[in-house]
Structure 1
Amino acid sequence: MTKDIRILDVLHLRGPNIWTYRPAIEARVDIGELEECPSNTIPGFYERLSGMLPGLIEHTCSYGERGGFLRRVQEGTWPAHILEHVTLELQTQAGQRTSFGKARSTSQTGVYKVAVRSRHKDVTVACLHAARDLVMAAIEDRPFDVPATVARLHELADSLCLGPSTACIVDAATDNNIPSIRLTDGNLVQLGYGVRQRRVWTAETDRTSAIAESIASDKDLTKSLLVPCGVPVPEGHVVANPEEAWEVAQDIGLPVVVKPSDANHGRGVCLELMTEEEVKAAFPVADAEGSEVIVERYIRGCEHRLLVVGGKLVAAGRGENIVITGDGKASVRELIDSQLNIDPRRGEAEEFPLETIKIDSDRTMQLLLERQGFNADSVPAAGRVVTVQRNGNVSIDCTDEVHPEVAAAAVLAARIVGLDIAGIDLVTEDVSLPLERTGGAIVEVNAGPSLLMHLKPAEGKPRPVGEAIVGHLFPGEDNDGRIPVIGIAGCDDTTRVARQIGWQLHMGGYNAGLACREGLFLDQRAVEKTDCANWAAGQRVLMNRTVDAAVFETPVESILGEGLPYDRCNVGVVTSIRPSADLERFDVRDADQVRNVLRTQVDVVMASGAAVLNADDAQVAGLAELCDGEVIFYALSADVDVVTEHLAAGGRAVYVREGSVVLATGASEQILAARVAHPANALSAELAAVAAAWALGISPDLISSAIESFESSLGR
């Protein structure tokens, strides 16, 4: 035994589990001799911990009030509990705000289970290990570099987690009860399940045409399509060299803009060029950023970005010139750092609304400075205003200012190009007036536009662009992208129940996916013949775009070790509860603990769904009180007290009388045509499947046919 905290092992619970509906990390932690050292017995520990992480003051803990956790530390709590809260705080500091955590003792003295909500496994595990080191440093009164640790964790989170544009869409989907699955390590995400799924990739969707995206990437082609439809655009032409650029500039009339045909974020764009020297100097700058160079008429006014989603304007931002003011002492480079980059809204990560200005790597900026008679090392006179950027700075929300005719022009431009989500760049002196009055024009149509400028504008209020995109993909009320999901858990007969429910769905006309111990089945066809009663196989079913219903067998050990493969279900079946030697490695040793695991299956039943519970098992029947939806009991006989009471209250139950299956609702009974003569265990599984099919609205006649044909279906 030592005074140390050892992380023995870590489980990644990727779906709903015994701790929470959300993905979590469960660590088994040995605190050794620290079991005898609660926090109030360690001199100076409270002061050191609260000084290292001041944000812990926001943790309410069991007191339910600000400062609650630190109060627990003062009064005395154990290192495993402290490790939980420090892990949560480090996740928050890393930009992965979470609030759920639990620490519970096990049957082994000094060994605890610590569970925390996790948005990304690797980030949470890194935070857990960093938390262990921080807590030990506070215990042992050693220095610990919190800022460096947080910076490392933040960088890890930025590299592994969803970008802000995709994340805002996923968060909006979650708020609307739409499930999501991250399909790659990048930003490709599935919203919804099976046939009702949609896919997003940052601000592109599975409705975003590849042809439209190609058109938008070619600025000259885009303009050629917009002009015949009456959309105002600046006159311009593609040029091959600096000499041709100057010729076109003279034809169009000065001033002009020289820009790349397919770059973005304002890279390589030089504005308001007045002389041959300026035009020719701008050509290589634009050429370096795109495949072709365009010279077009300069439009006076401010740069604007209008976000169009599903044929509607949902947000708009305005740009401004970025300037510095000389003091007669500092260079341009120094003034940029002291006057601009010091702004807390600027940074390298995607979460910042404004980018860090880097003059040494920006040839466009250098050319702009040269036109004003400066370079990076020049020292502007006191009071001299120097412009360092003229475009690519859209950061001021102006959604409420947009004139309806301007909005209509933006929507028309997106429709002509064929984009369901588009960022429309236009230049105008006043966006509250029609473009024909201001001489404004649409200069670009962009596919996959960044949403960050609308989520975190430097000025003005954020706009709910994620909600707009989700509403576009899932129009109408109660459109949550879900298919019927049936989960089966328990200690007996779960594979047979799963196969029978799969057959009931097949007979009911569903193209059902089934993941169980006997394999993975698509519409009764075995596509995998290994044990598929696990999270990964379940996810494959939900990702299949042909599946319109899904059935999952989830063993108790799978709930404990990885969580359920779906977030909520329409029907949750629990067959039996009993302890098993196989569960002792999870420190689950008695029937009450098994019950606590299997309640997960009932907890995830939607309010519009049903829990199908075995009334012949008293502990299973007792789970009824935990269900948000309806409860349907099944039993070998109606002569079970819980069934009798349930029917008396108008509930539904399935049981057997004289060899026939009975569907009962209150005092009303319907006897199925099919006769059953199975052994008791097989009959119990049959009843569970019948109850599940009944809960899904499959007709009694089809249920009867399924009962009669199930055994022969197993050879298919």
Structure 2
Amino acid sequence: MTTKTMQLLRVTHLRGPNIWTYRPVIEAWIDLGDLEDYPSNTLPGFYERLTAMLPGLIVHRCGIGEPGGFLQRLREGTWAGHILEHVVLELQNLAGMRTGFGKTRQTSQRGIYKMAFRTRQELVGRAALASGLELVHAAIHDTPFDLAAVLTQLRELVDRHCLGPSTSHIVEAATDRGIPHLRLNEGNLVQLGFGAAQRRIWTAETDQTSAIAEEIASDKDMTKALLQCSGVPVPEGRVVTTVQEAWEAAQDVGLPVAVKPYNGNHGRGVSLDLSTQADVETAFVLALQRGESKVIVEQFIPGNEHRLLVVGRRVVAAARGETAWVTGDGVSNILTLVNQQLNTDPRRGETEDFPLGVVKPHESGEIILELERQGFTAYSVPAAGVKVLIQRNGNVAFDVTDDVHPSVAAVAALAARVVGLDIAGVDMVLEDASRPLSEQRGAVIEVNASPGLLAHLKPASGQPRPIGAAIMDHLFGVAHNTDKLGRISVVGVTGRSHATPVARLIAWLLHNKGHKVGLACRDGFYLGARRVHAGDSTSWDAGQNLLINRSLDTAVFEHNSHRILSEGLAYDRCDVGVVTDIGDIAALAEFYIDDQDKLFNVVRTQVDVILSHGTAVLNADDAQVVDLAALCDGKVIFYALDPASEVLIAHRDRGEAVVFVEGGQLVLAKGQTTVARIALNALGADIQALPGAVLAATAAAWALGITAELIGAGLRTFGLTPTKKHIEP
């Protein structure tokens, strides 16, 4: 009896570069069971049911490299593991977490496959995998599947666990410039870059954003006073705490006035163009509900609200607000008219994906007051042709960046500097942003810390602005060599033969030169010469601890194939990658690594991540390690115990660098030129018995620019036994 079902045997989140790709993936081991005998073209109605449920599969390229490629494979016949890969990717895309990478490979055991797919968040990826398995089975067996409910669940997970859209945009801009990132919490706190070269962001706040500046921005009265002292035009106003004070202030500053919460944001609780005592008092109560115990009453400045985004010292984006109106038909009430004429706009919605919000005239206090001033409620029926003002503010989402006059931009940038914010949302009321400020009655009404970015990323009209790129320029500057932006020197050591002493030696040689070095190896976790934790520290988590440390300018990591297969590398790219040997298949049997080619593909991960300006340090005495040289994007230094090695000779003939032992000396040579010789008998006693490790470490140090003299001095003073007491966490 056939059941035509498959099951998941193991699911692993590979959080760093791995055998599949440079990015994090979820790897699933799948037992197809009897589905191994039933490719897709042998399952009646399967193609039609699957494509009806997921019509977006039509754009999947698969092996032929063009849209429709996967559907072609599906018609011709492909296996369930491969189908599950594409279903999981599509579910993630439909949930709002765009991904595109996936691969499925058969193991040597019949019916057992390894499938990997890119995911930006582990919990979402695992949930999509579980739901994808159910969906494929439903399509095979023609049983019900509630796709809408699944997508609702996945979208909730995306909203709860993924980076917000603004933070994601900034992180993508960093990725485009080759700047690595680490997520530091479950929210939007992100580290850009590694070690001492890192910067941190929390959405639109950076590690340059002053806490004092944020406090000033939150105190609107202080902000206005500072701006006024600096020549920035602001509306005259007062802070009040009672209804009576509000009306007195309105008369003092001159009608009409605006009333708004002392600590409000996003235009909530703001009432504009108020000319009567009743309106001012009602607006005061409304503002009080949104704020603390204080309310601001200030001059009303005619014009449209604008948001100018300042990054560093310049305006990088600007958006204009528009008033919202409806026109009566003599039959429908205002609530119905709003739903028909405003809320049907596809740009309006409840989530951050929409540039404009849903208008709720029966719930919004600001709109209720605006309607009352016109003699209406949300349930009034305006006469045919009568225009009703619904909303004066809150629609700042219409891009005008290219129209902003230099004088307007200069005032916005000055306002941000006066408050002290490196990134600020400066709210201005302007008749026309394209005209000089001297020709209109414009004013700055607020300066906001941690400004929202979506109005500039997804404007209601106009083009999106590259805010993330501007923030990268602000944080890291504009560099010609983008390979070094946000990066410290990273060294990876992979192999079973003497990998730990190689890593220890490299770290010591760098420390001896004056680098601030961190080391994560099997022997422990080191900061400089001090071991702070004894025990195996080759895990992904230990590696992250190095990259987070702001005092380090260099990090050295030891790996083995088991770690690569179970976790991935802790970093995305490295300057130097050392491979001492390919290793032993027997130790990896649990991963279905059962031949030398598969083992080679595991170890090549270390070479695949070497930067184009970096160096692979390879053992010329291991034929498979030698084959890795062709995969390196950077330079290669071979090392060997035998100076007559054919690999070394050929490499020297090409003018390349090698390290070898000759006549009791460690020799560094480039081409036919001997660069330096170091006597082996002068080295520390601990490492004289490990000439291969000394060669590998010397080559790595040389690749990192350490002179032969310093290498020799470091080798002579190194000891494998830690000389400083370690400190357990």
Deviations 1:186-223 (A, max 9, x none): 00000011011000001000000000011011111100
**Is 2:485 the partner of 1:485?**
no
**Is 2:274 the partner of 1:273?**
yes
Deviations 1:577-602 (A, max 9, x none): 13243311111122221110010000
* 1:496–1:685 CA contact under 8 A, matched in 2: yes
Q: Residues of 2 paired with 1:22 and 1:387: CA distance?
A: 51
How many corresponding residue pairs? 716
Q: Name the structure 1 match of 2:186.
A: 185
Q: Residues of 2 paired with 1:564 and 1:364: CA distance?
A: 53
Q: Residues of 2 paired with 1:582 and 1:342: CA distance?
A: 62
Q: Residues of 1 paired with 2:96 and 2:689: CA distance?
A: 51
Q: Name the structure 2 match of 1:645.
A: 650
Pick from 462, 465, 469 the counterpart of residue 463 of structure 1.
Answer: 465
Q: Residues of 2 paired with 1:316 and 1:85: CA distance?
A: 40
Q: Name the structure 1 match of 2:705.
A: 697
SS in 1 for 2:385: coil
Q: Name the structure 2 match of 1:687.
A: 695
* Pairwise CA distance, 1:296: 0.2
Q: Which amino acid aligns with 1:251?
A: D
Q: Residues of 2 paired with 1:445 and 1:187: CA distance?
A: 22
Q: Name the structure 1 match of 2:569.
A: 564
* 2:680–2:688 CA contact under 8 A, matched in 1: no
* Pairwise CA distance, 1:496: 1.1
* Pairwise CA distance, 1:8: 1.9
* 1:579–1:589 CA contact under 8 A, matched in 2: no
For structure 1, the 5+ residue unaligned runs are none
Per the normalisation by structure 1, the TM-score is 0.98
Q: Residues of 2 paired with 1:139 and 1:157: CA distance?
A: 28
Q: Name the structure 2 match of 1:409.
A: 411
Q: Residues of 2 paired with 1:301 and 1:76: CA distance?
A: 64
* Pairwise CA distance, 1:573: 0.6
Deviations 1:248-274 (A, max 9, x none): 101111100000111110010000001
* Pairwise CA distance, 1:117: 0.7
Q: Name the structure 2 match of 1:332.
A: 334
Q: Name the structure 1 match of 2:533.
A: 528
Per the normalisation by structure 2, the TM-score is 0.96
Q: Which amino acid aligns with 1:348?
A: E
* 1:237–1:294 CA contact under 8 A, matched in 2: yes
**Is 2:58 the partner of 1:52?**
no
Q: Residues of 1 paired with 2:559 and 2:324: CA distance?
A: 58
Q: Residues of 2 paired with 1:168 and 1:707: CA distance?
A: 47
**Is 2:588 the partner of 1:587?**
no
* 2:209–2:421 CA contact under 8 A, matched in 1: yes
Q: Which amino acid aligns with 2:341?
A: Q
**Is 2:549 the partner of 1:547?**
no
SS in 2 for 1:341: coil
* 2:667–2:678 CA contact under 8 A, matched in 1: no
Deviations 1:313-347 (A, max 9, x none): 10000000122223333332233333322222222
Q: Residues of 2 paired with 1:352 and 1:385: CA distance?
A: 26
**Is 2:148 the partner of 1:151?**
no
Query: Given the superposition, is the C-alpha separation of residues 680 and 597 from structure 1 closer, same or farther in structure 2, using an over 3 Å criterion?
Result: farther
SS in 2 for 1:492: coil
SS in 2 for 1:600: helix
Equivalence map 1:440-451=2 (5 Å): 440-451=442-453
* 1:14–1:563 CA contact under 8 A, matched in 2: yes
Q: Name the structure 1 match of 2:727.
A: none
Q: Residues of 1 paired with 2:535 and 2:384: CA distance?
A: 77
Q: Residues of 1 paired with 2:588 and 2:152: CA distance?
A: 40
- Structure 1 residues 469-478 or 413-422, which shifts more? 469-478
Query: Given the superposition, is the C-alpha separation of residues 680 and 710 from structure 1 closer, same or farther in structure 2, using an over 3 Å criterion?
Result: closer
SS in 1 for 2:693: helix
* Pairwise CA distance, 1:360: 4.4
SS in 2 for 1:462: coil
* 1:493–1:681 CA contact under 8 A, matched in 2: no
Q: Residues of 2 paired with 1:698 and 1:468: CA distance?
A: 36
Q: Name the structure 2 match of 1:382.
A: 384
* Pairwise CA distance, 1:111: 1.5
* Pairwise CA distance, 1:530: 2.5
Equivalence map 1:118-197=2 (5 Å): 118-197=119-198
SS in 1 for 2:649: helix
* Pairwise CA distance, 1:159: 1.4
* 1:672–1:701 CA contact under 8 A, matched in 2: no
* 2:182–2:190 CA contact under 8 A, matched in 1: yes
Q: Residues of 1 paired with 2:701 and 2:164: CA distance?
A: 41
Q: Name the structure 2 match of 1:204.
A: 205
* Pairwise CA distance, 1:17: 0.3
- Structure 1 residues 367-376 or 502-511, which shifts more? 367-376
Alignment root-mean-square deviation, CA: 1.4
Query: Given the superposition, is the C-alpha separation of residues 93 and 681 from structure 1 closer, same or farther in structure 2, using an over 3 Å criterion?
Result: farther
Q: Name the structure 1 match of 2:105.
A: 104
Q: Residues of 1 paired with 2:327 and 2:45: CA distance?
A: 49
Identity %: 57
Deviations 1:406-449 (A, max 9, x none): 10000100000000001000001111112231111000000110
* 1:422–1:448 CA contact under 8 A, matched in 2: yes
Q: Residues of 1 paired with 2:502 and 2:463: CA distance?
A: 53
**Is 2:315 the partner of 1:310?**
no
* Pairwise CA distance, 1:554: 1.4
Q: Residues of 2 paired with 1:658 and 1:242: CA distance?
A: 95
Q: Residues of 2 paired with 1:56 and 1:388: CA distance?
A: 43
- Structure 1 residues 89-98 or 536-545, which shifts more? 89-98
* 2:658–2:670 CA contact under 8 A, matched in 1: yes
* 1:187–1:201 CA contact under 8 A, matched in 2: yes
* 1:24–1:118 CA contact under 8 A, matched in 2: yes
* Pairwise CA distance, 1:354: 1.6
- Structure 1 residues 387-396 or 551-560, which shifts more? 387-396
* 1:578–1:591 CA contact under 8 A, matched in 2: no
Q: Residues of 2 paired with 1:370 and 1:29: CA distance?
A: 64
* Pairwise CA distance, 1:97: 1.2
* Pairwise CA distance, 1:98: 1.2
Q: Which amino acid aligns with 1:208?
A: T
Deviations 1:120-156 (A, max 9, x none): 0111111111111111111111232223322321221
- Structure 1 residues 529-538 or 577-586, which shifts more? 577-586
* Pairwise CA distance, 1:302: 0.3
Q: Residues of 1 paired with 2:636 and 2:321: CA distance?
A: 57
* Pairwise CA distance, 1:372: 1.7
Q: Residues of 2 paired with 1:448 and 1:402: CA distance?
A: 22
SS in 2 for 1:126: helix
Q: Which amino acid aligns with 1:682?
A: L
Q: Name the structure 2 match of 1:660.
A: 665
Q: Name the structure 2 match of 1:369.
A: 371
* 1:578–1:590 CA contact under 8 A, matched in 2: no
SS in 1 for 2:718: helix
SS in 1 for 2:272: strand
SS in 1 for 2:719: helix
- Structure 1 residues 474-483 or 118-127, which shifts more? 474-483
Query: Given the superposition, is the C-alpha separation of residues 111 and 330 from structure 1 closer, same or farther in structure 2, using an over 3 Å criterion?
Result: farther
Q: Which amino acid aligns with 2:570?
A: P
SS in 1 for 2:317: strand
**Is 2:617 the partner of 1:612?**
yes
* 1:574–1:612 CA contact under 8 A, matched in 2: yes
Equivalence map 1:699-714=2 (5 Å): 699-711=707-719, 714=722
Q: Name the structure 1 match of 2:474.
A: 472
* 1:24–1:115 CA contact under 8 A, matched in 2: yes
Q: Which amino acid aligns with 2:555?
A: A
SS in 1 for 2:690: helix
Q: Name the structure 2 match of 1:498.
A: 503
Q: Name the structure 2 match of 1:597.
A: 602
Q: Name the structure 2 match of 1:321.
A: 323
Q: Which amino acid aligns with 1:593?
A: K
Q: Which amino acid aligns with 1:576?
A: D
SS in 2 for 1:316: strand
